[in-house]
Amino acid sequence: MTHKIDFAIASSDAVINALFQRIEQLRLSRNISQAALAKEAGVSRSTITRLASGENISVDSFVRVMQALGLADHLAALLPNPTVRPVERIRLEGAERRRASPKRKAAGNWTWGDEANGEGDA
């Protein structure tokens, strides 16, 4: 049974449940027992049971299970590549960013008719 989920708007619990449900479906489709997957991943069987029921497991256990199922190459798809765009590299003169800049505030609440030197008054 496949459930479609919009990862952009789903709660973190819903995303975790969907990911773990997919892993459980892959395990079953490959006819791998929970005990065999636990042994291959180097985690406890109770970790695999928690995963199968949608309960939280550690990131380390998640990665180990993905590797044991031969899905390690899919882990890179979880986050975009953080390399700097070429235009930014030119602006930074080849240097890498080391910190984020604070958001800049607007210059003020200027509106049409406001004159800084008072000339707008009749």
Q: Write the pLDDT tens digit of every residue in 69-103.
A: 999 988 888 877 666 566 666 666 656 666 667 77
Extract the runs of DSSP E, i.e. beta strands, from the chain: none
pTM over cut 0.95: no
- At 57 the pLDDT is 95
Least confident segment among 6-10, 53-57, 61-65, 113-117: 113-117
Helix, strand or coil, per DSSP, at residue 56: coil
Q: Tell me the pLDDT tens digit for each residue of 43-68.
A: 999 999 999 999 999 999 999 999 99
Contact 35, 27 (CB under 8 A): no
CATH dotted code for 1-97:
1.10.260.40
More confident site: 14 or 45:
45
What average pLDDT is seen over the chain?
82
Which amino acid, 60? D
Q: How far is CA 47 from CA 57, 84, 97, in A?
A: 7, 38, 39
Residue spans of the domains in the chain: they are 1-97
